[in-house]
Amino acid sequence: MTNLLIKLFVKSNSRKTGKARLRERYGVFASIVGIATNVLLFIIKLVVGLIANSISIVADAMNNLSDSGASIVTLVGFKISGKPADAEHPFGHARAEYISSLIVSFIIVILGFELIIRSIEKIISPETIIFNTVTVLVLVISILIKFWQSQFYKNIAKIIDSPALIATSVDSRNDMLATLGVLLGIIITNWTGFNLDGYIGLLIAFLILISGVKLVMETINPLLGEAPTKELVNKISKKILSYDDILGIHDLTVHSYGKGKCYASVHCEVSADQDIMVSHDIIDNIERDFLKEDKIHLVIHLDPVVIDDERTNKLKNKVEKIINQISPHLDMHDFRVAWGVSHCKLIFDVAVPFDFEYSEKELVELISAKIYQINENYHSVITIDRSYT
């Protein structure tokens, strides 16, 4: 069914979904389908809920209305995110998809609070629910449509790798379960005579609220600038180190400006004895390969390191041992020594996890003190870097 709708309504010359324009088409198409189906469900449920005098059905109808509003916001988000970069937004507009998701999340949270109040009022002052075959039939149809919706959004989300549509798919699944709860509540009320309408409405309201809060948290993270995934960090590191003459990497930083808008920078260590033009050609090739193969805009800083000085290497090994004894999660790089007559300067960086137990000042003092124990003429110049890993 989904594939048929895609062929009919998504104008696509190919399945090159990495292109911003095609991604926008898929997103707009999914949003329009969501608007149409949710408005239809809202109208049907509202009419049936008012006739049956059921707050849980009305609550479910209002949930569908919020879903249609959410689809409108998502549609606008996809249209904006598909715009190319300009002078005011040199990294493009792809983060507009996250902003639309955040707006939708707040709408869901507000609706959840409103329905909690209304449901509590129904629990305090319950009203008789009118049970009939039409009510049950409408709810069954709604459950089936919401199940289809969930799968539809999930399929489109996989095609364009959209976090907004993945969240919408989960929301539709939750709606399906909520409607199933309404149906069971009405049936139990009819059989037992105990009015569960307000309680079911309250349960639905809490599901809506929890879903909204979860979506808010998931959407805020990329907007604030969350750390890249461990898989992405490992992928970038492994690929760079696979090139000849790259001795090591550090200071990897990754920025995401939305899907398909990934920018990264990293320091790559090469032998100081190697011709600078050869080293420069290597990093140029790496940068081009990442953009062509991974769609990552990578900028590399070249770090020449001395690898054939026995005295420096011996001292480097001692310092590395000290740092590893403090914590195996620490990593040293850019080690060099300014050898002097009366004293020597040991200059290096230490990569530290964000949640490390020592403060930067405490760590620098601890490492410096241990190096001083090796030789009182060794003076440390330490720079602390924060590491994803």
- Structural domain boundaries in the chain: 2-224, 230-387
Residue among 377, 382, 345, 379 nearest 361 (CA): 382
* Intrachain domains 2-224 and 230-387 with the same fold: no
User: Among the CATH numbers 3.30.110.30, 3.30.390.50, 3.30.70.1350, 3.50.50.60, which is that of 230-387?
Assistant: 3.30.70.1350
DSSP state of 84: P
pLDDT along the chain (389 residues), means of 10: 65 52 81 89 86 75 79 80 78 78 78 81 75 80 89 87 78 79 78 78 81 81 80 92 91 83 90 91 95 92 87 92 93 89 90 89 94 92 83
Closest CA to 106 of 211, 225, 258: 211
Per DSSP, the residues of 192-248 read H----HHHHHHHHHHHHHHHHHHHHHHHHHHHHTPPPPHHHHHHHHHHHHTSTT--E
3-state SS track over 236-289: HHHHHHCCCCCCEEEEEEEEECCCCCEEEEEEEEEECCCCHHHHHHHHHHHHHH
pLDDT of amino acid 141: 87
| Confidence (pTM) | 0.64
CATH no., domain 2-224: 1.20.1510.10
Q: How far apart are CA 197 and CA 185, in angstroms?
A: 7
